[in-house]
């Protein structure tokens, strides 16, 4: 019997449902076994088409998704899951290049894990993503910053009254910036504060910042809210005058 250590936050994750999508039966069996032992309700699928069918029926809280699947590949499955259900996704990839991982993140994945992976690390990554989506038992009060309103209890961020369609990580990243306006943060600092990783691929932050800009800026090529601090990282402007900042140098936005 596989045993996985529990932690003080497991009560927040009780009865959370996880769908494991993996065409390798051995990898799928191991992942399902560890996640079940950790207390999750686990469904499984061996290909992309089946994954979408199971997700529509079971409505999982999170999907562990292999990037390389027969037929419908993991990137397209991720896009459809995000568009149709807003489901959290941890992507598994045997492809080692940074560009391959960025492709998964841009499709909407909240996290990724490279193969071969430790099943215990998979459980920790799943817990981390779900814990951020579940939120705290006593959430903070809603507050406004410029045209933005953060409602932690409902996990909603609006701009001028319209709800922003954000993934879990995009929400957490924007919420962090809204809580810390006018402060510059490096990608390392953001990785630790938002992802709770002590180390990792800094392109993860870069991709999420780019996706956030596409959703919150009037002109993502000339960001006025989420700006780049050259040589440092990023800063969220508490009072950004729309479209008055100079365009960033070609190829310089990151």
Each residue's pLDDT, cut to its tens digit, for the chain (254 residues) gives 454 444 434 555 667 899 999 999 999 999 999 999 998 999 999 999 999 999 999 999 899 999 989 889 999 999 888 888 778 899 998 766 667 677 777 778 888 888 888 999 999 999 988 887 665 444 678 889 999 999 987 889 999 999 999 888 899 999 999 999 999 999 999 988 888 776 677 888 999 999 999 999 999 999 999 999 999 999 999 886 655 444 455 444 44
DSSP state of 191: I
Rounded to whole angstroms, the Cα distance separating 116 from 99 reads 18
* Contact present, 248 and 222 (Cβ < 8 Å): yes
pTM: 0.61
CATH architecture of 10-134: 3-Layer(aba) Sandwich (3.40)
Q: Name the CA dihedral angle for 189, 236, 183, 108, rounded to a multiple of 10 degrees.
A: -10
Strand segments (E) across 127-185: 143-145, 148-151, 156-159, 162-163, 184-185
Comparing 10-134 with 143-236, is the CATH topology the same? no
* Contact present, 187 and 199 (Cβ < 8 Å): no
Rounded to whole angstroms, the Cα distance separating 91 from 67 reads 6
Rounded to whole angstroms, the Cα distance separating 157 from 164 reads 6
Angle, alpha carbons 122-10-15 (nearest 5°): 85
With respect to CATH, is domain 143-236 assigned 1.10.10.10?
yes
* Contact present, 139 and 152 (Cβ < 8 Å): yes
What residue spans define the domains of the chain?
A: 10-134, 143-236
Look at the block and give the residue holding tokens 């504060």: 193
* Contact present, 122 and 113 (Cβ < 8 Å): yes
What is the token pair recorded at 79? 């896009």
Look at the block and give the residue holding tokens 């492809």: 95
Q: What are phi and psi of 106, to 5 degrees?
A: -70, -25
């Amino acid at each position: 019997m596989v045993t996985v250590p529990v932690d003080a936050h497991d009560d927040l994750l009780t009865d959370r449902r996880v769908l494991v999508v993996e065409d390798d039966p051995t990898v799928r069996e191991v992942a399902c076994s560890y996640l079940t032992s950790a207390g999750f309700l686990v469904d499984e699928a061996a290909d992309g088409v089946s994954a979408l069918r199971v997700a529509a029926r079971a409505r999982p809280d999170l999907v562990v998704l292999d990037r390389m699947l027969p037929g419908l590949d993991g990137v397209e499955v991720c896009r459809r899951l995000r568009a149709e259900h807003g489901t959290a996704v941890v992507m598994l990839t045997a492809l080692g290049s940074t560009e391959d991982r960025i492709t998964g993140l841009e499709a909407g994945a909240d996290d990724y894990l490279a193969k071969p992976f430790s099943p215990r690390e998979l459980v920790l990554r799943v817990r981390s993503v779900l814990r951020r989506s579940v939120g705290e038992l006593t959430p903070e009060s809603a507050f406004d910053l410029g045209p933005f309103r953060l409602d932690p209890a409902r996990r909603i961020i609006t701009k001028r009254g319209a709800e922003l369609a954000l993934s879990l990580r995009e929400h957490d990243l924007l919420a962090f910036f809204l809580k810390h306006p006018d402060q510059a943060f490096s990608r390392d600092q953001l990785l630790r504060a938002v992802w709770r990783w002590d180390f990792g691929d800094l392109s993860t932050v870069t991709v999420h910042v780019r996706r956030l800009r596409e959703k919150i800026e009037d002109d993502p090529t000339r960001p006025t809210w989420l700006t780049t601090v050259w040589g440092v990282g990023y800063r969220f402007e508490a009072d950004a005058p729309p479209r008055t900042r100079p365009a960033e140098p070609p190829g310089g936005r990151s």
